[in-house]
Structure 1
C-alpha cells in the first residue's frame, strides 16, 4: 500500500522565506525511499499554535493523510509550540514512538533529550513531531521508520494489532 503523507514545517523564518526548508526535504526523501509514501501536502507555517492546528486538521481531514510528519517547534524556546498544537488536535497519544525517536537519537547526540516532540492519532492518521534540524529529523525518523508500516496498517484497518 502506498501511504499518503503530509509534511508540515513550523518555522517563523521558513514561513517568511528567510530559511530554506532542508528538514522537510530530508523527511520527503526518507518517506519516499524508506516508506514508499506519496507526499499529498507540504507547507510551512509560522510557530503559531492556531496555524499549526489548522494545518494539521486540514491535512488529516481534507487530504486524508495516513501520516502527518511535522518538523520544527519541538525545542525549549518560547515559540516552540508544535507539541502543544498537536496535543489539541489528536484523539490519543502514542508515547512509544516519541520515546523511541529520542532514544535512537540520544545515542548520537545528548541534545536529543531536549526534544519535546509527541506522537498521536487523529482519526485514522498518525501525527509525528520531529525536531527542526535536518540531522535531528534524519536520526529521529530513522529510529522509527521500520515500525511505521505496521502502525499505519493498524490505523487503516488493513491488519490487526496482534
Structure 2
C-alpha cells in the first residue's frame, strides 16, 4: 500500500526563505525509502499557531493524507507552538508514539527530554510532530517507523486491533 503523506515545516526563517529546509529532505527520503509513502503536499509556514493549525486541517481534511508529519516548533522557545496547534485540531492523541520518540532521542542526547512533540489523530490522518533538526528528525522518525504501517492501517479503518 502506498501511504499519502503530507509534510509541514514550521519555521519563521524557512517561511521567509532565509533557511533551507534540510529536515524536510530527511523526512522525504525516509518516507519514500522506509515506508513506501508518497508526499502529496509540502509547505513551510511561520511559527504561528493559526497558520500551523490551518495547514494541518487542510492536509488531513482536504488532501486526506494518511500521515501528516511536521518538523520544527517543538522546543521550549516562545515561538515553538506546533504541539499546541496539533492538539487544537486533534480528536485523539497517541502518547506512546511520542514517548518512544523521546526515549530514542534521549539515548543519544539527554536534551531530547525537552522535545514537546505530540502524535495525534484527526479523522483518518495520523499527525506526528518531529523536531526541526535533521539528526533529531531521522532518529525520532526511525524510532516509530516499524509501527507506522500498523498505526496507519488502524487509523484508516482498514485494520482491526485484533488483526495486528
Length-normalised TM-score, structure 1: 0.99
Counterpart Cα distance in 2 of 1:151 and 1:106: 23
Name the residue aligned to 2:119.
119
Q: Distance in 2 between matches of 1:129 and 1:156?
A: 19
- Deviations, residues 34-78 of structure 1 (Å, cap 9, x unaligned): 000000000000000000000000000110000000000000000
Give the alignment of 1:1-162 within 5 angstroms.
Answer: 1-162=1-162
Tell me, in whole angstroms, the C-alpha distance in 1 between the residues paired with 2:105 and 2:33: 20
Deviation larger for 28-37 or 104-113: 104-113
Q: Deviations over 1:16-48 (max 9, x none)?
A: 000000000000000000000000000000000
Equivalent-residue separation in structure 1 for 2:157 and 2:56 (angstroms): 22
Distance in 2, matches of 1:75 and 1:153, equals 30
Secondary structure of the residue aligned to 1:75 is coil
Q: 1:97 & 1:27 partners in 2: Cα distance?
A: 17
Deviation string 1:70-100 (CA, Å, 9 cap, x unpaired) is 0000000000000000010000010000000
| SS of equivalent residue, structure 1 residue 153 | helix
Runs of 4+ with deviation above 3 angstroms? none
Aligned residues: 162
The residue matched to 1:51 in structure 2 has which SS? helix
Helix, strand or coil at the partner of 2:147: helix
Superposition CA RMSD, Å: 0.5
CA distance in 2, matches of 1:133, 1:7: 15
